[in-house]
Amino acid sequence: MRFLLTIGISILTFSVFAQNISSRPIPCAHAHNDYNKINPLWGALKYGFTSIEVDVFAHKGELRVAHVGVLLSIRKTLETLYLKPLSKLLESRNWVYENYPEPLILMIDFKTNLHETLPLLLEIIKPYRHLLTYYHAGKVYKKPLQLLISGSGFSYEQVKDLDSIFVFLDGSVNHCESDFPDALVPRGSAKFSSHFSAKLDSSDLVKLQTKVDDAALCNKKLRFYAMKNHKKLWRKALDAHVGWVNVDQKRKFAKFYWEEYTTDSTAVIKF
């Protein structure tokens, strides 16, 4: 009886969350360290975020979601928090956001050795590959989800012999990755303070625009993390077409975006 009650509560909870997904996805919104929030995954989908960041540790044959490598045995897995719920959601729809035929990006930041973590990820995603955007014979085939690896040391040698490649790379903001096909590196990330002043002044904006323009040559969008969650900075980043805005305060950013960056009078969200 208790088992059936638990299942019933789980189904009801999933249904409530699924019904609360935004009808207005934000193409540039990246949910930084989403797993640390009150409602991982669902909180991001509620406000229309199209990219979600997850830190993982390889631990006893599983990928445990955490920011630091302590008490990993009690941490939830990548499957539990993200892959299984998204798979269930996609049983009843073609895309995570209905009427938005673009993949939801899961940016997976490896916190353990790449040579241990990557093979484990490739094994774990096997049951979900029908949902994953992939690269084959020089072309990207879009599916509802896209996996983007963040972490140093990843090389094309590790995946080039696979029949199809189901993982993409978060690369540099300074140059195109000559060792990879451009299509496998759709994003470049760096710490905000390593390149710009806190207020993103006029000289910084020139530098930012140069980086954005250079990245566009290889079809790469940029993201700068550890940027303060201020409207002025968000505005400057969006006006420079940075691609992805790194956000910790999802509700605040969604409200800001829909008030300032849409002319669609029907784009009304209750906050």
Q: What is the CATH number of the domain that holds 70?
A: 3.20.20.190
- Among 71, 79, 72, 67, CA closest to 110: 67
Claim: this prediction has a pTM higher than 0.85 = yes
d(CA 171, CA 140): 17
Note whether residue 68 is domain-resident: yes
What pLDDT sits at residue 267? 47
Least confident span in 9-18, 71-80, 114-123, 142-151: 9-18
Tell me the pLDDT tens digit for each residue of 196-251. 999 999 999 999 999 999 999 999 999 999 999 999 999 999 999 999 999 999 99
Q: What region, left, alpha or beta, does residue 243 occupy, with left being phi > 0 and alpha being psi -120 to 50 degrees? A: left
Q: Residue 2 domain-assigned?
A: no
Domain containing 251 equals 25-260
Task: Express as a percent the part of the chain with pLDDT over 90.
Answer: 81
pLDDT in tens, 2-36: 555 545 545 556 666 777 899 999 999 999 999 99
Residue 271: predicted pLDDT: 47
Residue 10 within a domain:
no
DSSP character string of the chain: -HHHHHHHHHHHHHHHHHHT--SS-EEEEEETTGGGSSSTTHHHHHTTEEEEEEEEEEETTEEEE-SSSSSGGGSPBHIIIIIHHHHHHTTS-SSSSTT--SPEEEEEEE-S-HHHHHHHHHHHTGGGGGGB-EEETTEEE--SEEEEEESTT--GGGTTTSSSB-EEEEE-SSS--TTS-GGG--EEEEEGGGTS-TT--HHHHHHHHHHHHHHHTTT-EEEEES----HHHHHHHHHTT-EEEEES-HHHHHHHHHHHS---TT-----
165 confidence band (pLDDT: 50, 70, 90):
very high
Cα 125 to Cα 102: distance, rounded to the nearest angstrom: 19
pLDDT on residue 9: 47
Looking at the domain assignment, is residue 231 inside a domain? yes
Residue 154 pLDDT class (50, 70, 90 cuts): confident
Looking at the domain assignment, is residue 180 inside a domain?
A: yes
* pLDDT at site 6: 47
Is residue 269, in this structure, part of any structural domain at all?
no
Among 21-25, 129-133, 142-146, where is mean pLDDT lowest?
21-25
Q: Residue 13: its pLDDT value, please?
A: 63
Total domains, the chain = 1
Residue 205 domain flag: yes
- The pLDDT value recorded for residue 72 is 92
Whether the pLDDT of residue 107 is over 50: the answer is yes
Angstrom distance (rounded) from CA 271 to CA 268: 9
Whether 266 is in a domain gets the answer no
pLDDT at 18: 74
Residues 185-197 have pLDDT tens digits of 999 999 999 999 9
pLDDT tens digits, one per residue of 240-251:
999 999 999 999
